[in-house]
Structure 1
Amino acid sequence: MSAVFNFTFVPWFRSVAPYIHTHRGKTFVVGMAGEAIAAGKLQSIAQDLALIQAMGVRIVLVHGFRPQVNEQLRAKGHQARYSHGIRITDEVALDCAQEAAGQLRYEIEAAFSQGLPNTPMAGATVRVISGNFITARPVGIVDGVDFQHSGSIRKVDVAGLLRTLDMGALVLLSPFGFSPTGEAFNLTMEEVATSVATALQADKLIFLTEVPGIRMQPGEPASDDNPIDTELPLAAAEQLLAQLPTPQQPTDTGFYLQHCVKACKTGVERSHILPFALDGALLLEIYVHDGIGTMVIDEKLESVREASSDDVGGILQLIEPFEKDGTLVKRSRTEIERDAHLYTVIEHDGVIFACAALYPYPEAKTAEMAALTVSPQSQGQGDGEKVLKRIEHRARQAGLNSIFVLTTRTMHWFIKRGFQPVDPDWLPEARKRKYNWDRRSQVLVKKLG
């Protein structure tokens, strides 16, 4: 085995290990668009879900079937009809939906049954269990449109789902529900996934979709200046939805976002929009620090916010021990009061457990992250990561291309999170003039893609 492989594999595995530990025993609901299966992505997605389950995550997989039903309708000379973003399900469409669901469930179960040699699923046994876990009712007539056999969710069998997950099985759900009288209703994958995630109070709701996520400037073309917004606070997501037209198509910006917002408002801590076109999207989002799609997060649960002048005392109390041992450069109360608006803090029950400041250098399109501090009481719980994520979000919102840190003792922590060492001469001129050559701090930079 080559030394180069060892050099790359060991730090990579160490960087992934904390996420494996964090997610063990958690419940994820994954909504997979039917377009992903039509695009030939089922096998790789099944392998990744098997890997994730093998690392201790409980999974509910909800599949969509929009293109498959439309294909069946075309074969029968019948036109697909939609209104309010929902399929109008007449008798022919209901038959097509049932045929498509049966075929897809067969394909999905087969994909999880293939323990192919030389793949991540070699030797794996993934037990897939489906069932009538969803009770539905008709959508009825809305604005004069009769949706016929299209339904909405009345109830989720939480106890049945939990028993199945406790058995170690992966739960597979089709977008169908049944009334107490046995009538079948066509549902949407997005509503089923959101309702199940909410009912289970899942740790994550993940949509594997046609879209890569939400861009920093929605509606504008993709570019280096308009990257995917990897973390969208719930309040910002709600504000964005209010500005968008009512979504009708899956490719509309608000189509999946509306479900992510609903989930986060009803107890799901994090919801994600990921592109199925990118191989390994699930693994990259779950086990890599920056992720690759958009994550909507309920800030109230995280208690992450921008600081105010009322937080100065708490910030001083937090950073003082680290100033005394030389980890941090000493800052006066006057300086922190002046710069309070530049700080991000994590607060639990009125006590500040983590903080960091963002000092922008707009002329160089960069900013310094300074005074990143986590209380010894909460170290190892991810608070440093949460503050870093928010600082990155603030920097992107300000139109900056990178952030940098100066550190003498925590270089490896930053390198694991995408920072690269550079020479002090890289620093913006205004910051270079204040560089303490006696302290010999390492300068590390992270580009914001």
Structure 2
Amino acid sequence: MMQSTDDQNYVKWFRNAAPYINAHRGKTIVLMFGGEAVAHPNFANIIHDIALMRSLGMKLVVVHGARPQIEDRMARRGIEQAIENHVRITDADTLVAVKDATGSMRLQIEALLTMGLVNSPMHGSQIRVSSGNFVIAKPIGVRDGVDFKYTGSVRRIDAESIKRQLDYGSIVLLSPIGYSPTGEVFNLALEDVATQTAIALQADKLITFTEEQGLTDQQGQLIKSCSVRRVKELVNENNCYIRQQLLKAIIQCGENGVERCHCISYQSDTALLQELFTRDGAGTLIAKDHKEQLSTATIDDVGGILELIAPLEQEGILVKRSRELLEVEIDRFVVLKKEDAIIACAALYPYEEAKMGEIACVAIHPDYRKGNRGERLMDELTEKAKSIGLNALFVLTTVSGHWFREQGFTEQGLENLPEGKKQMYNYQRKSQVFVKLI
């Protein structure tokens, strides 16, 4: 019996997702979403996907906010809001509303994570949820003559206790409240709790949920990936306080050891799984800044590139390039620098009529060949290729075929090269052809 197209596509997707599943197993991930996400009709789908992540072996800490729910309870009780410099002043009456809202939301989320109805995505999941006094808080106190009363900030996170719960297989659920050693309860900012938790656990990822598809530039275009430095620029470009708090949380995590942050939409029922298990993702990926800076080459980099590739040219691994040719083609290159010294380079040559691009002149200094520098070069060139509408990359190599296979390339025949490249193929070198769809 013939398989349906949908079944075949599902199997292909599942196979393509396998490397991402393996890469995320055992990783510690902090997920942060506000009360707006909890109130959205799509929230149940997010919970189902969180349960799936746990079943795939990820260690999860879920941090929820409650701003709209707190405001609703204050309005129903006739309590006036007191805001100073965008921070809520939490008096005794407001604290009652905070406890009511956060307690109710915690129960709601725990119930959704426990649900196991037949024919539902949660059937058979048997997920344990752990909540507790993991967040130790302190009062903000008096600022510029204003007493913020029961509004506080995180003093420390009980990371060891959280890790024990994660090792037991539980999902740890944190609310935006904290406790002091004197027994007081404080109203905390969601971003403060999530950020300090991710840093204390040295989490592998922070995933944030927002109304938009992800981070956007001034033209409203989605930023698919960027560095923490770019996020700092976005803070200065935007005056929305809530958005700025989100950006600052990402920056703080990136500067304090969290390797990856993601920003996705809580309105999409597929965004979380797309972001984690597909090549292109669904929102914005933010990578922490490296001391080694990756950038497009300039004319000032010609000498450094020539020095880097000279030994490989002498060994016959790379085709020899003259200074004059390199100067003409310099904008095709990306370079990785450490303290202004070029330690790696690679080039992209587009064949736009075939929607393909050639990866060439990949070189890494012998002292820096450990680590993921080659992968960083490939990721950068892949993004450049996508931005100009290319669908595939190819490379000709005599010695590095195994490495390119590890990057997802497959060996193919000469007939798969663009016509312009076929005519230039050097049969004496007998280079292998590797191709990768992007």
Matched AA of 2:264:
L
Output one character per residue of 1:315-365: Cα deviation in whole Å (capped at 9) or x when no partner: 5667998x75xxx8x35253456645543356899999975324579x99x
Other-structure match for 1:206: 207
CA distance in 2, matches of 1:235, 1:318: 33
* Contact 2:198–2:253 under 8 Å retained in 1: yes
Q: CA RMSD in A?
A: 3.9
Other-structure match for 2:261: 271
Unaligned runs of 5+ in 1: 418-422, 426-431
CA distance in 1, matches of 2:331, 2:184: 57
Other-structure match for 1:20: 21
Cα distance 1:400–1:292, how it changes in 2: closer, same or farther (>3 A)? same
SS of alignment partner, residue 172 of structure 1: strand
Other-structure match for 2:47: 46
Unaligned runs of 5+ in 2: 411-415, 427-432
CA displacement at 1:371 relative to structure 2:
1.9
Matched AA of 1:212:
Q
SS of alignment partner, residue 31 of structure 1: strand
* Contact 1:319–1:371 under 8 Å retained in 2: no
CA distance in 1, matches of 2:339, 2:180: 45
Matched AA of 1:45:
I
CA distance in 2, matches of 1:145, 1:318: 66
If the length of structure 2 is used for normalisation, what is the TM-score?
0.80
CA distance in 1, matches of 2:213, 2:8: 32
Structure 1 segment 60-209 matched on structure 2, within 5 A: 60-209=61-210
Alignment match of 2:287 (pick from 294, 297, 321): 297
> What number of residue pairs does the alignment pair up?
414
Mean alpha-carbon deviation: is it higher for 399-408 or for 273-282?
A: 399-408
Other-structure match for 1:436: 422
CA distance in 1, matches of 2:85, 2:39: 24
CA distance in 1, matches of 2:205, 2:314: 36
Cα distance 1:116–1:233, how it changes in 2: closer, same or farther (>3 A)? same
Other-structure match for 2:56: 55
Other-structure match for 1:405: 393
CA distance in 1, matches of 2:109, 2:29: 18
Alignment match of 2:334 (pick from 344, 366, 371): 344
Structure 1 segment 237-248 matched on structure 2, within 5 A: 237-245=231-239, 247-248=240-241
CA distance in 1, matches of 2:276, 2:314: 34
Matched AA of 1:292:
A
Output one character per residue of 1:228-268: Cα deviation in whole Å (capped at 9) or x when no partner: 111111222223324544x42x2x3x331111011100111
* Contact 2:225–2:284 under 8 Å retained in 1: yes
Cα distance 1:25–1:242, how it changes in 2: closer, same or farther (>3 A)? same
Matched AA of 1:405:
L
CA distance in 1, matches of 2:283, 2:74: 32
CA distance in 2, matches of 1:306, 1:354: 12
Other-structure match for 2:359: 370
CA distance in 1, matches of 2:262, 2:126: 27
* Contact 1:206–1:272 under 8 Å retained in 2: yes
Cα distance 1:404–1:62, how it changes in 2: closer, same or farther (>3 A)? same
2:233 is equivalent to residue 233 of structure 1: no
CA displacement at 1:184 relative to structure 2:
0.5
Mean alpha-carbon deviation: is it higher for 98-107 or for 378-387?
A: 378-387
Output one character per residue of 1:350-400: Cα deviation in whole Å (capped at 9) or x when no partner: 999975324579x99x9945228598x99998766543432355578xx85
2:280 is equivalent to residue 286 of structure 1: no
CA distance in 1, matches of 2:314, 2:59: 42
* Contact 1:314–1:351 under 8 Å retained in 2: no
Matched AA of 1:436:
K
Cα distance 1:277–1:94, how it changes in 2: closer, same or farther (>3 A)? same
SS of alignment partner, residue 46 of structure 2: helix
Matched AA of 2:97:
C
Output one character per residue of 1:258-306: Cα deviation in whole Å (capped at 9) or x when no partner: 1101110011111121110011221111111121212221131786555
CA distance in 2, matches of 1:242, 1:187: 25
* Contact 1:354–1:372 under 8 Å retained in 2: no
* Contact 1:128–1:170 under 8 Å retained in 2: yes
Computing the radius of gyration from Cα coordinates, the structure with the larger value is 2
Cα distance 1:187–1:3, how it changes in 2: closer, same or farther (>3 A)? same
Alignment match of 2:251 (pick from 250, 258, 261): 261
Output one character per residue of 1:70-95: Cα deviation in whole Å (capped at 9) or x when no partner: 11111112233333332221222211
* Contact 2:215–2:284 under 8 Å retained in 1: yes
Identity %: 34
Cα distance 1:370–1:316, how it changes in 2: closer, same or farther (>3 A)? farther
Matched AA of 1:210:
E
Mean alpha-carbon deviation: is it higher for 129-138 or for 408-417?
A: 408-417
Other-structure match for 2:34: 33
Mean alpha-carbon deviation: is it higher for 407-416 or for 297-306?
A: 407-416
If the length of structure 1 is used for normalisation, what is the TM-score?
0.78
* Contact 1:42–1:111 under 8 Å retained in 2: no
CA displacement at 1:416 relative to structure 2:
9.2
SS of alignment partner, residue 300 of structure 1: coil
Other-structure match for 2:430: none
Cα distance 1:306–1:201, how it changes in 2: closer, same or farther (>3 A)? farther
CA displacement at 1:443 relative to structure 2:
8.8
SS of alignment partner, residue 95 of structure 1: helix
CA distance in 2, matches of 1:259, 1:108: 23
* Contact 1:367–1:400 under 8 Å retained in 2: no
* Contact 2:409–2:436 under 8 Å retained in 1: no
Mean alpha-carbon deviation: is it higher for 176-185 or for 233-242?
A: 233-242
Cα distance 1:23–1:206, how it changes in 2: closer, same or farther (>3 A)? same
SS of alignment partner, residue 380 of structure 2: helix
Output one character per residue of 1:98-124: Cα deviation in whole Å (capped at 9) or x when no partner: 001111111111101112323332211
CA distance in 1, matches of 2:124, 2:390: 43
